Amino acid sequence: MGAMKLRNPLFAPADSARKMEKALASAADAVILDLEDSVAEGRKAEARDVLRGMLPGVERAGVIVRVNPVGTAHHLADLAAVVPGAPDAIMLPKCCGGAQLAVLDRQLAVLEAASGLPEGGIRVLPIATETAASVLALGSLAGAPRLVGLCFGAEDLAADLGTSPRLPSGLYPAATVAARGLLLLAAAACGVPALDTPWPDPRDPEGLRREAEAAAADGFSGKLCIHPDQVAPVADVFTPDAARLEWARRVVSGFAANPGAGVFSLDGRMIDRPHLRLAERLLALE
């Protein structure tokens, strides 16, 4: 099962065929068709019907559906509507630990079998920091099935904590900073990329770039997007430059030429296995 490119996944509300079609035609690595927060309660069933009819005809790579959380009245109905259309992944909001992902794995396996799809073909992308309880459960995600990445969510976490998502300076409050760091550690422990929270103001490209560059420096592999205008700038930030990619290719080639070596010299510097892991991560962002 190949890795998904997730530099700049773009959200689109599932109750608007026009907005979904625009997102699907965009240059985003992936598109998140949303049945949760962007769809009003009274339009959930209609949105499911729209997706049920649309998904089988979608041919682009990187189609993700955000369903409603486990335990809500809409969760199973969402899955039953979208699994037959074989999206690449399900985004699970309000994810609270590995036990929920195990439940989702079983639900998906049953629906895949009923739809004639291969078991395990639909991956899972949780938003894993939307509540304080979710943050405290991050350590239970290691080894979770179907996992393709972990998403940091700042807005819902702030609501749970009773704080503002960002301080007037643009920085995060202390508990949000802690959650962000723990999400990065959890993603590394799971061996999957970490995706940063969306920048909430599409009219502020400078703020978007500033926060995306900080996220890239901290080790995030991508950033969720809420507007088509955010797609290109985010891709630019999370795509390594040509010199960095050339270094990564040389590191990979060096180990391929010396498969039994734990270390070799490149331009006079010692290169070891951690450098190989970094090189592979960089090439995955190309």
Query: 242-264: per-residue pLDDT in tens?
Result: 787 888 888 888 888 878 778 88
Q: By three-state DSSP, how is residue 12 classified?
A: strand
Q: CB–CB of 17/54 below 8 Å? A: yes
**Predicted pLDDT of residue 2:** 53
Tokens representing 74?
Answer: 């809409």
CA contacts within 13 A on the Cβ side of 182:
21
Q: Is 56 exposed, middle or buried (0-12, 13-18, 19+ CB in 10 A)?
A: exposed
Q: How confident is the model at residue 154 (pLDDT cuts 50, 70, 90)?
A: very high
Distances (CA, A) of 17 to 30, 42, 57, 80, 259: 17, 17, 13, 19, 51
Please give the average per-residue pLDDT across 108-117, as a whole number.
98
Q: How confident is the model at residue 272 (pLDDT cuts 50, 70, 90)?
A: confident
Cα separation, 39 vs 12, whole angstroms? 10
Q: Give yes or no for residue 237 having a pLDDT over 70.
A: yes
Residues of the chain with CATH 3.20.20.60: 10-239
Which helix (H) or strand (E) segment holds residue 31: the answer is strand 31-34
Task: CATH number for 10-239: choose from 3.20.20.60, 3.20.20.70, 2.120.10.90, 3.30.465.10.
Answer: 3.20.20.60
- Per the prediction, the chain carries an average pLDDT of 93
Please give the average per-residue pLDDT across 109-123, as a whole number.
98
Contacts of 252 (CB under 8 A, 6+ apart): 276, 279, 280, 283
Q: 87 in the Ramachandran plot: left (φ > 0), alpha (ψ -120 to 50) or beta?
A: beta
Please give the average per-residue pLDDT across 208-217, as a whole number.
96
Distances (CA, A) of 35 to 18, 47, 91, 93, 128: 15, 7, 10, 10, 17
Please give the average per-residue pLDDT across 144-166, as a whole number.
96
Q: Name the percent of the chain lying above pLDDT 70.
A: 99
Please give the average per-residue pLDDT across 270-276, as a whole number.
81
Please name the amino acid found at residue 130.
E
Q: Helices marked H in the chain — which ranges?
A: 17-24, 44-54, 75-82, 98-114, 132-136, 155-161, 174-190, 205-218, 231-237, 242-257, 273-284
Please give the average per-residue pLDDT across 224-250, as a whole number.
91
Q: Give the distance from CA 26 to its chain's centroid.
A: 17
Cα separation, 268 vs 23, whole angstroms? 47
Smallest Cα–Cα separation from 145: which of 110, 108, 112, 181?
108
Site of tokens 């240059």: 27
